[in-house]
């Protein structure tokens, strides 16, 4: 993936995984990565801390729309 864009920042790996799952269900490739906020989180353990959910630049607008729709009606299927 080149030209990655952050579409969401969340405090846990679990939340980042859920968001990526929502995006993947509509065909948007994504990944999560540690943020600078995570520096020192969990005293060096590899998990935990703030995560950025990133998508390709060309998918960023659609990803934000999908996430906004999910927040507006969590029961809706995309």
pTM for the complete prediction? Answer: 0.80
Residues 6+ away with beta carbon under 8 Å from 53: 6, 7, 8, 9, 10, 16, 19, 20, 23, 30, 31, 32
pLDDT 10s per residue in the chain (78 long)?
Answer: 469 999 999 999 999 999 999 999 999 999 999 887 655 555 555 556 789 999 999 999 999 999 999 999 878 765
pLDDT at 50: 86
Cβ atoms of residues 56 and 24 within 8 Å: no
pLDDT at 48: 66
Instruction: Please tell me whether residue 9 adopts helix, strand or coil conformation.
Output: strand
What number does CATH give the domain 4-72? 3.30.70
């Amino acid at each position: 993936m080149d030209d990655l864009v952050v579409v969401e920042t969340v405090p846990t790996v679990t939340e980042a995984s859920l968001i990526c799952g929502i995006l993947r269900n509509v065909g948007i490739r994504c990944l999560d990565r540690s943020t600078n906020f995570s520096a020192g989180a969990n005293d060096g353990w590899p998990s935990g801390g703030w995560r950025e959910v990133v998508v390709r630049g060309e998918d960023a607008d659609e990803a934000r729309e999908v996430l906004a729709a999910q927040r507006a009606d969590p029961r809706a299927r995309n």
